[in-house]
Amino acid sequence: MKEYKRQWRELSDEHKEKISLATANKPKSAEHRAHISQAMRDYWYSVPHRPDVESGHTTMNDLIGA
């Protein structure tokens, strides 16, 4: 598995807001948006969800994203 900055898919609302503000009002062509969309789908497919530690049933597969 590739190593990325993000360990889990879930982000805080504050972090999502910062990303939204940074990318707002920057024009992009339709082709460019399509390329970005495909790249982000490929990227997020490889980032695992955060394990559910509240249930107390975290498995090794939860931790490695298998």
Mean pLDDT of 6-10: 67
Mean pLDDT of 8-16: 80
- H, E, C per residue of 18-40: HHHHHHCCCCCCHHHHHHHHHHH
pLDDT at residue 15, rounded to an integer = 86
Q: Which domain holds residue 31?
A: 13-64
The b-or-e profile of 35-62 (16+ CB within 10 A means b, else e) is eeeeeeeeeeeebbeebeeeeeeeeeee
Whether 17 is covered by a domain: the verdict is: yes
pLDDT at residue 40, rounded to an integer = 84
Query: 65: how many CB neighbours lie within 10 A of its CB?
Result: 14
Count of domains forming the chain: 1
Calculate the CA 27 to chain-centre distance: 23
Which carries the bigger pLDDT value, residue 59 or residue 46? 46
Mean pLDDT of 6-26: 82
Whether 8 is covered by a domain: the verdict is: no
Mean pLDDT of 42-63: 68
Q: What is the pTM of this model?
A: 0.41
